[in-house]
Structure 1
Amino acid sequence: MSQTSHRPDNTTPQDTDGPEDAGTETSSTNTGSTDTSGTETADADADSAGDPADPAKPGPGTPPPPGRSWEAVRHLLVRLHFYAGVLVAPFLLVAALTGLAYTLTPQLDQLVYGDRLRVEQVGETVRPLSEQIAAARAAYPEGTTASVVTPPGPEDTTRVVVAVPELGEKQRTVFVDPYTAEVRGELTTWFGSTPLTTWLDDLHRNLHLGETGRLYSEVAASWLWVAVAGGLVLWIGRRSRGRRPKSARGVLLPERGARGVRRTRGWHAVTGVWLALGLLFLSATGLTWSNYAGERFGRLLDAVNGNAPALDTALPGAEAPVEDHAEHAGHGGSGGATADADPAGFDTALTAARNAGLGGTVVVTPAADAASAWTVAQNDNVWPVHYDRVAVDASTGEVTSRTRWADHPVLSKLSKLGVQGHMGVLFGAVNQIALAIVAIGLTAVTVWGYRMWWQRRPTRADRRAVVGKAPEPGAWRRLPLPVLVLGIPAVVALGWALPVLGVTLAGFLVVDAVVGAVRRRRTA
């Protein structure tokens, strides 16, 4: 897949690194390059196919006869990286921009809903939950009390979550001043999220298109790690001048004095290197709670007993125990009783939980029925996290069961922490800043990738094009046999684990094969 540029007559190559860069920095009408590839290798086309005066004599850019070699692995990666960049990059760009907006939700919530989320004045004594619940239910009597969330800080209000049938899976959350039991207002929430956060969350997850729209985010998450890993291999394995391996500086910093496409490629690659860990983290954590890959991940957790331990909410002597399973989706849901619970039960359950050592913010949920216990769950999402849970017999104040965060399996912990980090809450403002940097960097990398594609377009008068050509196909036919023997089953297994990646990759291969067949027929 050696390639040459489409440069005007009487021009000479500049700033070359070696064979892969031949012609990537040549003079042209409007750009610093006349190369035609969207990746870091140049592309052979009709100008370099051979000597027109002697068809038997190969031209300087003619590929060598087919033969299996390890260089074909690099050529295949180049083509895969190119297609990932051109076809999947729009999904990545949308995910980066919507994710950037979502990172600002804590501050936006305070700006928009601050009058409900915060108290007017911090008091000295906190009123019992029963008084706060009574005030909330007096102001909003519809529905049943589903749960109560204690204030995360001294300036925050208590949240009384009310299940209203008309709202479906959403709830009405009433905000109460814990010092005065004054109702500050209410919002229609979704698993504790404000309307603004819910709207931005839906925008990032599915573009407000429902389950069908979730395909966009799963495509982005499925291909992000492929693009990142392929780009790292290509950039780190690239040779510098004199065919020497790149130094650490050459990998981590753009080349001094580079111009045109070389300068764009340097910023594209180096920024990708610096952001690689963050991008791989977002890809992995996004896949664990995606639609199809997330279902495969759930199967894995079931197979290796990696789920969070279930809290036994059956009261002693009850005939039918009811288990309270933790959700994998990353959003804490609220249960609800069939009849409105006695507000005094919330005081009893909270007191028992505090005596059992559950500090910080907790969610108190009434019993589902007379044979079940109340549950109190820690909800401290900022590191160090606290996720202990207890079951309480509200009639006696006795703790009947308990699960500890320390006892969660490793996969359960990694999944939970990964989701919190993906949402930008695990390390507070530092987490938000890191995600914002990664989102802005991914946006820049995507834009630079398209700029390279444009800069590498042919500019000769008889061969102008809007963008550069794709790298030459057929590299897979020259792959070493060990790569084929091991690679094909690995790709099949990967396609099963990540169905959206498998389907889209198969689609790319089919389209690529059809286009290649048409081109060969035209050439013949």
Structure 2
Amino acid sequence: MKGSTPSFYNLAWRWHFYAGLFVIPFLILLSLTGIVYLFKPQLDALMYPELLQVPVAEQRLDADRQLALVRQAYPQATVRQYLPPPAQGRSAQFVVDQGGLELNLFVDPYRGTLLGSQDARGTLQAIARRLHGELMIGTVGDRLIELAAGWGIVLLVSGLYLWWPRGSGGAGVLWPRLRSRGRLFWRDLHAVSGFWGSLALLFMLLTGMTWTGFWGAQFAGAWNHFPAAMWDAVPKSDLQAGSLNSASRQTVAWAAEVTPLPVSDPHAAHNGQATAAQGADAARIGLQRVVDTAVERGVQPGYSISLPKGESGVYSVALFADDPRDDATLHLDQYSGALLADVRWRDYGPVARTVETGVMLHEGKLFGLANQLLMLGVCLLILLSAISGLLMWWVRRPQGRFGVPPLRHDLPRWKTATLIMAVLGVAFPLVGASLLLIWALDRLLLSRPAAPSCLQQG
């Protein structure tokens, strides 16, 4: 800083430091778990071939006989979900609750044999998904992920300001000076990888935040609207279709999460279809009839069927497709088989269509292997920028001190930065609350006039 001309570089650097301090551990975790989930199809085929692959035979057992096999093998379990074979030579899957433990059971649909089971929450993919979405600690973890994503935007904006060329050439700006050593080497890696990955990081943060429990739920509630006539003649519960999703398993597409979950007519169970002694369960339509309805309605393979919960529950057919244009969410009365709701891509609004497409790009599913490799490159860029930022801080921090960048106290109010922070705080309320908290702590505890040190950059 020269003369009395105020420089905002130091102020931006200070906020970049705070943002990085909080966000970088999350970016590393999200990138690593994201890479695992990104290659789920390949990893599952490699790790569980004996559960997923079966020899093709001439005839396949219907879903009701497969269900009977599972109930015979696990008489005390509650069957929650059925996933028909997605292709020839693939097994069928049931999800059951056995004494509080959620199990994946795999059935050979040609021979009627049970292939094996998994702890549904203990597989590599389930753990990666739970870490990625909620740190395996429920609502608190979800809020921390959301907060980290919002602060990631602060990190990105302040980082671009610090990176912005100030009269230098392309070295250290567009490409790293690989012959440099020490702090300069890590600085170049951090700045250059951060610049090239900035738009991709912003895309990943925004598409990821749509799944969060607070901001994402508010966003979905504001933008995901369906014609009221779709539900006029449908008896509805107090639940939404999103209740079928869990931290370890995605069942219903994001756009359909806010739709009402209909209810079945329990009186139909006793209208000549079953005696009181038999109960409502005997009056349910067969599972194969639900499969047939899904096929008749043109639902693409890969869907799941959630079985009814209680006397008023419904069968829910859901496809969270790699191509969102194939998404489907259907609800059937468990007694009559009547179709109560059928939500497809055609019913999505423009925002829902944009978000669903973005999510599929985020998860590497839209364009197959090319999409996977592109997202892998993005994850590696984020990892490189995050790790090099940590190493840069470690190399240059003063001995015995945390290394918070010093703040000049003669800086006038930076109107542009104030506006940016205000917009972020309003758009992302958790970020806004944390900004106010950190500003107060910074003013009370950390802001001290300081002489220039080895931390300052020019």
Give the TM interval when normalised to the shorter protein: 0.7 to 0.9
Q: Using the alignment, how far apart are the partners of 1:202 and 1:322 within structure 2? A: 28
**Contact 1:127–1:179, Cα closer than 8 Å, also in 2:** yes
Matched, 1:150 2:84: yes
Matches within 5 A, 1:438-477: 438-456=378-396, 465=399, 470-474=404-408, 477=411
Matched, 1:388 2:328: yes
Matched, 1:332 2:250: yes
Matched, 1:513 2:443: yes
What amino acid is the match of 2:189?
Answer: W
Question: What secondary structure, in the 3-state scheme, does the structure 1 residue paired with 2:317 have?
Answer: strand
| Deviation of 1:268 (Å) | 1.6
Question: What secondary structure, in the 3-state scheme, does the structure 2 residue paired with 1:495 have?
Answer: helix
- Which whole-Å deviations, capped at 9, do the CAs of 1:429-460 have from their partners, x for residues lacking one? 44443343333332221232233335546xxx
- Which whole-Å deviations, capped at 9, do the CAs of 1:481-502 have from their partners, x for residues lacking one? x537xx35x5345335434423
| Deviation of 1:158 (Å) | 1.0
Question: What secondary structure, in the 3-state scheme, does the structure 2 residue paired with 1:122 have?
Answer: coil
Matched, 1:295 2:214: yes
Matches within 5 A, 1:475-490: 477-480=411-414, 482-483=415-416, 487=418
**Contact 2:324–2:357, Cα closer than 8 Å, also in 1:** no
Change (3 A) 1:310 1:258: farther
**Contact 2:103–2:118, Cα closer than 8 Å, also in 1:** yes
Q: Using the alignment, how far apart are the partners of 1:368 and 1:341 within structure 2? A: 14
Q: Using the alignment, how far apart are the partners of 2:82 and 2:350 within structure 1? A: 29
| Deviation of 1:344 (Å) | 5.8
Greater shift in the superposed pair: 275-284 or 86-95: 86-95
| Deviation of 1:66 (Å) | 6.1
Q: Using the alignment, how far apart are the partners of 1:430 and 1:163 within structure 2? A: 37
Matches within 5 A, 1:77-116: 77-116=12-51
| Deviation of 1:206 (Å) | 4.2
Aligned-pair Cα RMSD in Å: 3.9
What amino acid is the match of 1:85?
Answer: G
What amino acid is the match of 1:327?
Answer: G
| Deviation of 1:345 (Å) | 1.9
Q: Using the alignment, how far apart are the partners of 2:331 and 2:379 within structure 1? A: 41
What amino acid is the match of 2:301?
Answer: G
**Contact 1:378–1:386, Cα closer than 8 Å, also in 2:** yes
Partner of 1:348: 289
Matched, 1:275 2:197: yes
Higher relative CO (Cα under 8 Å, sequence separation at least 6) belongs to 1
| Uncovered stretches (5+) of structure 2, i.e. residues with no partner | 253-260, 265-278, 452-458
Q: Using the alignment, how far apart are the partners of 1:179 and 1:229 within structure 2? A: 56
Question: What secondary structure, in the 3-state scheme, does the structure 2 residue paired with 1:332 have?
Answer: coil
Partner of 1:65: 4
**Contact 2:36–2:125, Cα closer than 8 Å, also in 1:** no
Change (3 A) 1:466 1:509: same
Q: Using the alignment, how far apart are the partners of 1:135 and 1:346 within structure 2? A: 13
**Contact 1:313–1:372, Cα closer than 8 Å, also in 2:** no
**Contact 2:409–2:449, Cα closer than 8 Å, also in 1:** no
**Contact 1:374–1:393, Cα closer than 8 Å, also in 2:** yes
Change (3 A) 1:410 1:257: same
Matched, 1:126 2:60: yes
When normalised by structure 1's length, the TM-score is 0.68
| Deviation of 1:425 (Å) | 4.2
**Contact 1:364–1:377, Cα closer than 8 Å, also in 2:** yes
Q: Using the alignment, how far apart are the partners of 1:382 and 1:443 within structure 2? A: 26
Structure showing greater Rg: 1
Provide the identity percentage.
28
| Uncovered stretches (5+) of structure 1, i.e. residues with no partner | 3-62, 458-463
| Deviation of 1:408 (Å) | 1.0
**Contact 1:373–1:391, Cα closer than 8 Å, also in 2:** yes
Number of equivalent positions: 425
Greater shift in the superposed pair: 344-353 or 101-110: 101-110
